[in-house]
Amino acid sequence: MSDKYTKLEQHASYGIGLQMGQQLADNPFDGLDIDAVAAGVIAAFSEKTPEVSDEQIRDAFKVISERMQAEQAEKAVLLADAGEAFLAENAKRAEITVTESGLQYEVLVAADGEKPSRDSTVRTHYHGTLIDGTVFDSSYQRGEPAEFPVSGVIAGWTEALQLMSPGAKLRLYIPHELAYGERGAGNAIAPFSALIFDVELLAIL
């Protein structure tokens, strides 16, 4: 750690700047100028006239917001098309079962016995990726299984869990309509993303 900031107030101040920076890094736009951001922060604490007018700021916000919305819409179309193409090709595999809803799955480990209902609570291990293999969540990596109500998860999971008995393990291929749809989920899962999950049902609670 640096010895540059030694006072408690400096630590808190640095933390504020770090949080602002993280927020900007999570939602950047092309051309983001960190020096200009810092100048704006300094101007807000001074009594000097800002170097950029309110009108210029409003116009810039409007143009950049419209630009980002257009980029997000274009990305959403590409993701939806990529997901549909992937699932159409995947459905041709002999080991894949496609349900009426469009959910696809393959059995990795079969098991017989009681199956959960929508009203059940279950304990599972899972590993979730995008169709390009990017991992966005994994109870296996955390080393701790997850417990939740069957009806409290995405539709693809709710459907699949009711097909499983404890000890079973499925690989799910979930179209965006049965996942997070047009909303996405944070920065990890963009809107209209098809998802892949390995799901192991450990117990019905």
Task: Show which residues are catalytic.
Answer: 126, 136-137, 154, 180, 197
Ranges of beta strands (E only) in the chain are 97-98, 104-109, 121-130, 135-138, 146-149, 169-174, 195-204
| Spatial distance between the Cα atoms of 41 and 10, rounded to a whole number of angstroms | 16
| Residue pair 122/203 in contact by the 8 Å Cβ criterion | yes
Which of 177, 132, 133, 184 is closest to 156 using CA atoms?
177
| 3-state DSSP percent of the chain in helix, strand and coil, to 5 | 40, 20, 35
H/E run at residue 46: none
| Spatial distance between the Cα atoms of 138 and 149, rounded to a whole number of angstroms | 18
